[in-house]
Amino acid sequence: MEKTVSEAIQYRRSVRVFKDDENPDPEVVRSCIEEATLAPTSSNLQLWEFYHIVSEDTLEKMTEACLGQNAAKTAKQMVVVVSRKDLYKKRAQQNINFLKSVYGDKPESEYSRREKFALNYYKKLIPTIYTDFLGILGQLKYMVFNVIGLFRPVYRQVRRSDMRIVAQKSAGLAAQTFMLSMAAKGYDTCPMEGSDTLRVKKLLGIPSSAEINMVIGCGVRAENGIYGPRFRVPFEETYKRV
């Protein structure tokens, strides 16, 4: 029986050792990845990709790229979450195409003010925010936006490094959604930060312009799969009611 959201959150742990004789159904893992694509994403650009690894040969090579850690060594499958900031033009155009299909077959002169705003958001604002050249244009935009910010509230995260963070945050939200979906179905995961990302890219054929968000080991937890009781700092230290 599938777990509720709260049950899945409580159940999910970073499992370091997976059972050797149990392998999650690849189609169920695929469905969890599909659910991950419903995660929140900045400007609905969905700047992510997911590499679902089931090949034993590739898993063995990935274990080496993940520095031989147990969560990789015992994983029956892996999912590599990739941040694709470089695809912003393509994804913006896909949003434009979708909006036009929703608005109906009519000339742009008949669009409502709200419809024009939505289209211009992807046609003009997104390119303005994401376009950069050697980091120089981003710095110029950053200075201009901060001058504007002296007089009114304004978006300030316009440098190349800022946009990388934006894309990585969206990919991270998708990764967490995937892990909770897996937990809801009784499967286990371990997000791995430690990996040779260059080797992972070469192994999976990931473009150099893309960035690895995280590698997630998948399986069913072994009895010794969780290294200890869950620790969290006191909630009162992190909760600020304003």
pLDDT for the residue 148: 87
Q: Residue 123 in contact with residue 115, Cβ under 8 Å?
A: no
Query: SS3 of 199, please?
Result: helix
In the sheet that 48-53 helps form, which strands lie side by side, from edge to edge? 48-53, 77-83, 211-219, 188-192
Stated pTM of the model: 0.92
Q: Residue 213 in contact with residue 175, Cβ under 8 Å?
A: yes
pLDDT for the residue 203: 98
Cα angle 188, 193, 196 (rounded to 5 degrees) comes to 120
d(CA 188, CA 24): 9
Element (H, E) at 163: helix 160-184
pLDDT by 10s per residue, the chain, length 242: 899 999 999 999 999 999 999 999 999 999 999 999 999 999 999 999 999 999 999 999 999 999 999 999 999 999 999 999 999 999 999 999 999 999 998 888 899 999 999 999 999 999 988 988 877 887 888 888 888 888 898 788 778 888 899 999 999 999 999 999 999 999 999 999 999 999 999 999 999 999 999 999 999 999 999 999 999 999 999 999 99
Q: Residue 4 in contact with residue 185, Cβ under 8 Å?
A: no
- Domain 5-84+162-221 sits in CATH 3.40.109.10: yes
**And the tokens for 96?**
């434009």
The amino acid at residue 170 is S
